[in-house]
Structure 1
Amino acid sequence: MLYTLTILLPVIIIAFVMPSYYVKIITAETEKLTDATLVGLTENIQTYLDDLERVTVSPYTNNEVMNSLKQKARGFNSPPDNYSKYKADYTLYHTLPSLLVNLRKDILGTLLVAIDGSVYYNDSSSQLTEIRSDYPYKEQSWYHQAIAANGRVSFVNVHPQDYLKLTTVPNVFSVARLIKDPDSKQPLAVIMADADTIILDRIVRQVSVNVNSIVTITDKDQKLIYSNTRLSQEVLNQFLKNPTNIDLNQQSYVAVSREIPTSSWKITVWLSKAELASKVYWMHLIGAIFAAGGVVLAFFLFFAYSRNLLKPFKEMIGVMRQVQLGNMNKRFSFRGQDEIAQLGNALNRMISQLDELITNEYLNKLKLRNAEFRALQSQVNPHFLYNTLNAFVSLNRKGEHALLERAILSLSGMLRFFLTSNDSCSLEEEFSSIQKYGELMSMRFSDRLEIAITIDPQLAPFRIPKLLLQPLVENAIIHGVEPCENPCRVEVSAELLPGINGNESFAIRIADNGIGFNTSEQIGDQHIGLSNVKERLELAFPDKHEFKLESSLGRGTTITIIISLNNEEPAK
């Protein structure tokens, strides 16, 4: 079990679990970065598609073009006169190209097919490209797609530009639209703007992706529009069936996709799992080396040193058993200066000290009471300084440097009182210290805090543990006044109580009208301060005091301490 826990389990974790864990982390982070990259890529392609779409609405911006298209539509039913036909053709041959001029050279050209079958083409590169007169334009899928869209933009998949007389027919993708009469809503023509697929490759290459990643763009019918790697339809179908895990060229990929809203195109980046895993290959290698070395070293150390290590420990156990039986003269024999010798020497010193402690047990018990008293008192200073320094930070942030200087001087005066050697002080000195602390807090809270301190002159010389009341006043301000939005008042008073059966006593009262709290719940630092005060009262005035706490939410808190005057005063 020890070998499994100390050797085998760490080896498994270092060599296998940690690399796998980091691969998952790297994969998740890469997916997030890729998704963020796709946002910019999607916006770039969307901007380009918007440019194409704007080209298709150009005819609507010119009345002469629209009138010519209307003339063509009317001539489809009744042939127009030669002059009207000439005027319409002139407008579509000369005016229309000026509307379709655009600054993007990657928009190859614009094709317009009038409803009467007339075809007009504008080449963006200013080349006199001719159209084919024998081409069945109205039978093409893009034409029917535009008619079905009924005036809305239609995104056409990649197709050959075979309706032009070109030596080499390129593949293009297009945006088509049906031009309609704004008044009668009758179809007038179909316009289509062509774009070279090379622009998609340029846009994709502007974005940084992993070296072995594959980028694809598919249309709404899941047909491939673009890919930076040659893909077969079989691989594409595999992607469509299982987009989270694809096997290509004996590699696994993770897909990150984002859709272009207007065209419903989907851009997908396939992240290579092998490339992601290669980033932690060094962890596998180093983990295996350290694991193997650790196993060999562990076996060597175990067999070489186990006997020498166990023997002295058994002797120490024997010495401890003798001491347990009461033989305080038993000692451990050791040689050398190694760790075991140091441990044996420490054991012998411990036995000697234990013997001395048992001898002086009675005296230690007498001193225990004062030691506990001092320990409880020492808890007050750090707690007070913590909250006071927080108040200084608040003044500094407000830029009240003059007030901060006064506060620091007041604190230095209080520290002189705190650092005196006496463990007790007169009630008058304690109230004076509280008065200075109240001045510090008044500087911090300004008009939100009012402190009233009253003491019966007869009680001024009575001695109590030093800083007994300060934590209670501090709790009243920090936990009662600070969270309250309204101005608050803290009252600290000491007064004589009427004697009952000859027993004279007096009451110390700390009250505030802050937010209060539920006395059935323990409240962090406030509870620690109350426990400290209770324990110090028990040490200083055992069985001669009472501690009362009254509080409710929204009505403040009142703490009353009643001490009998017939009790001995606390030791100085």
Structure 2
Amino acid sequence: MNKPFLSIRVKLVLLYSLTILLPVVIIAFVMPSYYIKIITAETEKLTNETLVGLTGNIQTYLDDLERVTISPYTNNEVMNSLKLKARSLRSPVDDYSKYKADYTLYHTLPNLLVNLRKDILGTLLVTIDGSVYYNDSSSQLTEVRTDYPYTESSWYQEAVKANGRVAFVTVHPQDYLKLSAVPDVFSVARLIKDPDSRQPLAVIMADADTVILDKIVRQFSFNVNSIVTITDKDHKLIYSNTSLSGQNPENLQDRQHSYVSVTREIPTSSWEITVWLSKAELASKVHWMKVTGAAFAVGGVLLTFFLFFAYSRTLLTPFKEMIGVMRQVQHGNMNKRVRVQGQDEVAQLGSVLNRMIDQLDELIINEFRTKLNLRDAEFRALQSQIHPHFLYNSLNALVSLNRKGERALLERSIVSLSGMLRYILTSQDSCTLEEEFSIIRKYGELMSLRFSDRLTMSIDLAPGLAHVRMPKLLLQPLVENAIIHGVEPCEHPCRVAVSAEAVPDGTGGEKIVIRIVDDGMGFNPSQLKDQRVGLNNVKERLALAFPDQHEFHLESRAGQGTSITITISANGKELP
């Protein structure tokens, strides 16, 4: 599996990111977040300590309210009056006793409450027989409503359910009094029971204004944007120092700004005091650090990036030049050299590269000369194989004419043969298609004199291919094979056609298609003997002259003739 390629510039960028960008990001963003976390934790700790005092003050106030509800137990006259009220439900009571009981509840009970806290709004007493007595701490003669369903109200039910224990009643309207404006209050209620029989006698409730909670809360200092809420055991809102949307303080989590909550419970009432600390306010304490860090980050990144870009460009430019020179050398331009400046490692590398190109150029030239000489030797060796083979077949033809006594034809054949030998023995190893087709035409004339009407030659060369060069005597052995092995054994007239044409190669260039076709004896290609010198010689010379640019295709059927197709492709390049 190949490893992913990373350029030097990419590696430098990664190094720059690790050494410069990462510390800058940590200083500009991570450190402020870390300090915000520390400040938040410290603020939560201080707020929790403050809540200890706040909870104690509210607990003290609730204890005072609770003491109001147990005041009837401290006076025998009040307790006897409540017992009389309860007994009247079971048996008749004289009017004097009723009057005395009412007098006690109207006058004696309020005297018990006169020394209690002045910020308690009042106490409401509902006896078991349905009588209602209200004592207003402000000494106002406030009347109670006679049409109010006291025993069905939630606070009454909570007191009865507590069965003598204190019941802390959440915020509710003071609608059981005849007031022009009905305020919201919170209360402490208790069921008064007979100490002897444990039978219920009355329900007493002490009312307090929520303003007292605000006074207690404001005695303590919290963050400016902090929200303080007090909720009952059912998480219903009793008090908030700011206006909230809805009565559920959990809605704070859905607001635009998020909060951190610090909660403490008031033990006896199970109420909870929660301080909601604004994260935005906490974050503002390190705003200066963020601004300074961001300014440092931007300035540092711009400065270091400029220095990095300038240095990397200075460092990488010589490497790019070396890569360009090596690509030029790869494409065969051995004259390119690297400009060497200075004496540093890069300059030394450029000098070494130049020396390597010089040595490589010399090595290539020597190798090319060696291969060229070797190739010429192979060409001459293969071509020398054609000479005796051609002479053998031509002399046999002359012998045949001599035996037939055809001296005129024999003379013409000797003249043609001498012209062909003169061409073959020239020192050149290549020729044009026009010259090759000319020698084929002369050889055809020589063979036509021998076979007379039994041989017909057809030679067709496209005019545009006359200048194309190829190895000398490349096609003549194939024509010779067609005549000797295809035509000579036949008793019927035969035809040998030689053609060359240019066709498109599908890549924008052209390829040469040469065909040698006869309708002679034919043979089975699978039984072709390897010792056929002419055919093997042509294949080897094609491989040397046109490596990876040629195709040789032979088709033959016994009794039907033979077809040889040679295709020479330039691989998209213009043919010579």
Q: What TM-score does the superposition give when structure 2 sets the normalisation length?
A: 0.51
RMSD between superposed Cα atoms in Å: 2.4
TM-superposition CA deviations, 1:104-153 (whole Å, max 9, x none): 22100001111111111111111111112222211211111111111000
Give ranges in structure 2 of 5+ residues lacking alignment.
1-13, 316-340, 349-576
Corresponding residue for residue 78 of structure 2: 65
Q: Give the counterpart letter for 1:287 in structure 2.
A: G
Aligned-partner Cα distance in 1 for 2:77–2:297 = 83
Q: Which residue of 1 aligns with 2:261?
A: 255
Per-residue CA deviations over 1:246-301 (Å, capped at 9, x if unaligned) read: 131x1111111111110010111111111111111111111121122223333555
- Given the alignment of the two structures, is residue 273 of structure 1 paired with residue 279 of structure 2, yes or no? yes
The verdict on how the C-alpha distance between 1:173 and 1:312 changes in structure 2, with shifts beyond 3 A counting, is farther
Equivalent of residue 171 in structure 2, options 147, 158, 171: 158
* Counterpart-to-counterpart distance in 2, 1:64 and 1:278: 63
Match of 2:147 in 1: 134
Map 1:180-329; keep pairs closer than 5 Å: 180-233=193-246, 236-238=249-251, 246-248=253-255, 250-299=256-305
For these two proteins, the number of residue pairs brought into alignment is 307
Query: Aligned-pair distance for 1:314?
Result: 6.3
CA distance in 2, matches of 1:234, 1:299: 55
Matches of 1:133 and 1:101, distance apart in 2: 25
Distance in structure 2 (CA, Å) of the matches to 1:120 and 1:180: 17
Query: When the two structures are superposed, what TM-score results if normalisation uses the length of structure 1?
Result: 0.51
User: Once the two structures are superposed, what CA deviation does each residue of 1:174-211 show, in whole Å capped at 9, x if it has no partner?
Assistant: 00001111111111111000000111111111111111
Separation (CA, whole Å) in 2 of partners of 1:300 and 1:152: 78
Q: Does 1:175 align with 2:188?
A: yes
Match of 2:41 in 1: 28
- Tell me the SS of whatever aligns to 1:233: coil
Q: Which amino acid aligns with 1:247?
A: D
Letter of the structure 1 residue corresponding to residue 293 of structure 2 = G
How far off is 1:82 after superposition?
1.2
Query: Is contact 1:159–1:171 with CA below 8 Å preserved after alignment?
Result: yes
Secondary structure of the residue that 1:251 maps to in structure 2? coil
Matched with 1:464 is none
Aligned partner (choices 28, 39, 52) of residue 65 of structure 2:
52
Q: State how far apart, in whole Å, the 2-side matches of 1:226 and 1:303 are.
A: 62
On the 8 A contact 1:217/1:265 being kept in 2, the answer is: yes
Secondary structure at the aligned position of 2:62 is classed as helix
Q: What is the one-letter code of the residue matched to 2:139?
A: S
- CA distances 1:360-402 after superposition (whole Å, capped 9, x unpaired): xxxxxxxxxxxxxxxxxxxxxxxxxxxxxxxxxxxxxxxxxxx
Alpha-carbon separation, structure 2, partners of 1:126 and 1:221: 34
Q: 1:88 aligns with which of 93, 101, 114?
A: 101
Whole-angstrom CA distance in 2 between matches of 1:265 and 1:301:
63
What is the CA–CA distance in structure 2 between the aligned matches of 1:234 and 1:224, rounded to whole Å? 6
For structure 1, the residue ranges without an aligned partner over 5 or more in a row are 240-245, 319-572
**Structure 1 residues 84, 254: closer, same or farther in 2, change over 3 A?**
same
Output the CA distance in 2 between the equivalents of 1:256 and 1:262: 19
- Paired residues of 2:237 and 2:248 also in contact (CA < 8 A): no
Q: What letter corresponds to residue 279 of structure 1 in structure 2?
A: K
Q: Which AA in structure 2 matches 1:197? A: T
Give the conservation status (yes or no) of the 8 Å contact 1:247–1:253: no
- The amino acid that maps onto 1:68 is S
What amino acid is the match of 1:34?
T
CA contact (8 A) 1:146 1:153 kept: yes
Equivalent-residue separation in structure 1 for 2:283 and 2:250 (angstroms): 26
Q: Distance in 1 between matches of 2:266 and 2:302?
A: 58
1:37 to partner: Cα distance: 1.2
Q: Partner residue of 2:20?
A: 7
CA offsets per residue over residues 474-528 of structure 1, 9 Å max, x none? xxxxxxxxxxxxxxxxxxxxxxxxxxxxxxxxxxxxxxxxxxxxxxxxxxxxxxx
* SS of structure 2 residue aligned to 1:83: helix
Residue 235 of structure 1, CA deviation: 5.4
Q: Kindly provide the amino acid, as one letter, of the partner of residue 59 in structure 1.
A: P
Question: Aligned equivalents of 2:275 and 2:343: distance in 1?
Answer: 64
Task: Indicate conservation of the 8 Å contact 1:69/1:114, yes or no.
Answer: yes
Tell me the equivalent position of 1:101: 114
Distance, in Å, in 2 between the alignment partners of 1:18 and 1:313 is 45
Are residues 228 and 305 of structure 1, via their aligned partners in 2, closer, same or farther at CA, if it must alter by over 3 Å?
Answer: same
Q: What CA distance in whole angstroms lies between the structure 2 residues aligned with 1:69 and 1:304?
A: 98
- Alpha-carbon distance, 1:10 to partner: 1.5
Which of structures 1 and 2 has the bigger CA Rg? 2
CA contact (8 A) 2:229 2:249 kept: no
With over 3 angstroms needed to count, the CA separation of the structure-2 counterparts of 1:161 and 1:5, relative to structure 1, is same
- Give, in whole Å, the separation in 2 of the partners of 1:234 and 1:142: 19
Q: For residues 38-93 of structure 1, what are the alpha-carbon distances to aligned partners after superposition, in whole Å with 9 as ceiling and x for unaligned?
A: 11111111000000000000010011111111111101221201111111111111
C-alpha distance in structure 2 between counterparts of 1:297 and 1:173, whole Å? 65
The separation in 2 between residues aligned to 1:26 and 1:259, in whole angstroms, is 24
Distance 1:152 1:235, change over 3 A: closer
Aligned to 1:113: 126
Alpha-carbon shift at residue 212 of structure 1 (Å): 1.3
Quick check: 184-193 or 228-237, which moved more? 228-237
> 1:152, 1:71 → 2: CA distance?
23
Rounded Cα–Cα distance in structure 2 between residues aligned with 1:313 and 1:25: 55
Q: Which runs of 4+ in 1 moved over 4 A?
A: 299-308, 311-315
Offset at 1:2? 3.9
Shift in Å at residue 13 of structure 1? 0.9
Say which SS state the counterpart of residue 258 (structure 2) adopts: strand
Contact 1:102/1:124, CA 8 A, preserved across alignment: no
